[in-house]
Amino acid sequence: MSYSVLIVDDSPLIRSMVLKSIAMSGLEILASFQAANGLEALEILREQWIDVVFADLNMPEMGGIELVERMSADSLLVSVPVVIVSSVRDEAHIEALKRKGIRAYIKKPFRPESFREVVEVLTRAAEVQR
C-alpha cells in the first residue's frame, strides 16, 4: 500500500528530515505535501487526498493542537489521522493531545521505523473500523 502524506512544520529542515525518515522507514509514498503551519495544512487538506498528517505542535499562525481541533470539527477532515511529531515528551501533554483527537505521537529524536510502525497501526485500526 502506498500513502499520501502531509508534513506540517515551520522548519524546512525538519520537514526534510521527516520526509527522509519516512522514505528510509520503507513506507511507500504515493505523494508528499508540506505545510509551514496549520493554516497551510488545512488548505492542502481541502484540495488533496491525504492518508496521514505528521504535524509539529509549536508553529506560528496555527499550531498542531488547533489544526487537530479544526480537523475534528470538519466532517470532511475528521477521519484523516494526525500524528504529532514533537520534542515534548511528558505524558500529561501526550494524553491531553490524545483526548483532543490525535491518533499517535512520535517523540523526537525519532527513529525512521517509528513512522512505519505508526502508519501500520493506523492502517490496521482503519481496517477494523471498516
Residue 48 interacts with another protein (CB under 8 A): yes or no:
no
Count of residues that interact with another protein, criterion CB under 8 A: 21
Rounded to a whole number of angstroms, the minimum distance from the CB of residue 8 to another protein is 14
Residues 79-118: x where in contact with another protein by CB under 8 A, - otherwise, as a string: -------xxxxxxxx-------------xxx---------
From the CB of 55, what's the least distance to another protein, in Å? Answer: 14
In degrees, to the nearest 5, what angle opens at C-alpha 96 toward C-alphas 72 and 91?
Answer: 140
Q: Taking a C-beta distance cutoff of 8 angstroms, is the pair 18, 35 a contact?
A: no
**Cα-based distances in Å from 7 to 14, 64, 128:** 9, 11, 26
Q: Are 122 and 81 in contact (CB under 8 A)?
A: yes
- Beta-bridged to residue 33, according to DSSP, are 6
Site pattern 58..77 for another protein (x: CB under 8 A):
xx------------------
**Chain contacts with another protein (rule: CB under 8 A):** 10-14, 16-17, 20, 58-59, 86-93, 107-109
